[in-house]
Homo-oligomer: A and B are copies of this chain.
């Protein structure tokens, strides 16, 4: 068998992930059939599935990649950056519209989801702990409660954006700041 360079493999993987993300965003998980994935990536099913063992594995890899991207923005630019990015990149959000139903019906998948990007998750927790220690975040609630509140606001806005409703990012950020400010 010919040896394929790492660079070539990396390029192919990116081609698959970009095309597949568009297909999942447009058609949903079920609707993104293998022929549609072939069309969106410009590659044969053989090529696609030589990089990912199954459609579910491809979807999960893209979801983990999307979360990695979001966590990096959160760490670099704060939650403001996350919300502004969500409002201007609805494709990343649309890809996730089927996720709640998929997770609800599949406990194993739900467990997999919670283990995405452990190093970045830990870094985010540390940044919350440090902000709380510096008195920038209220100290009467634990980090998990504060973090989940951010998560709920993000997912709620994501639903509104994906559905095509206008959202008020600045108003939301102002309310969030008051919610988490030290009393």
Contact in complex: B179, A141 (CB < 8 Å) = no
Q: Which residues of B contact A88 (CB under 8 A)?
A: none
Q: Which residues of B contact A152 (CB under 8 A)?
A: 152-153, 156-157, 160, 167, 172
Query: Interface residue tally of chain A, by bracket?
Result: 35 or more
Contact in complex: B174, A148 (CB < 8 Å) = no
Q: Which residues of B contact A183 (CB under 8 A)?
A: 178
Contact in complex: B175, A101 (CB < 8 Å) = no
- Which residues 125-174 of A have a CB within 8 angstroms of B? 138, 141, 144-146, 148-149, 151-157, 159-160, 162-165, 167-168, 171-172, 174
**What is the CB-to-nearest-CB distance from A21 to chain B, in angstroms, rounded to a whole number?**
15
Contact in complex: A164, B101 (CB < 8 Å) = no
Interface residue A75 (Cβ < 8 Å from any Cβ of B): no
Binary contact track A99-122/B, C-beta < 8 Å → 1, others 0: 111011001001000000000000
Binary contact track A28-57/B, C-beta < 8 Å → 1, others 0: 101000000000000000000000000000
Given that A148-B167, A157-B152, A159-B155 are contacting pairs, would A100 and B97 also be in contact in the complex, using a CB cutoff of 8 Å? yes
22 contacts between A and B (CB under 8 A): A97-B100, A100-B162, A103-B163, A104-B162, A110-B164, A141-B171, A141-B175, A144-B168, A145-B172, A148-B160, A148-B168, A148-B171, A149-B172, A152-B153, A152-B156, A153-B153, A154-B156, A155-B156, A156-B156, A178-B179, A178-B181, A179-B179
Question: 3 closest pairs, A vs B, by CB?
Answer: A156-B156, A152-B156, A145-B171
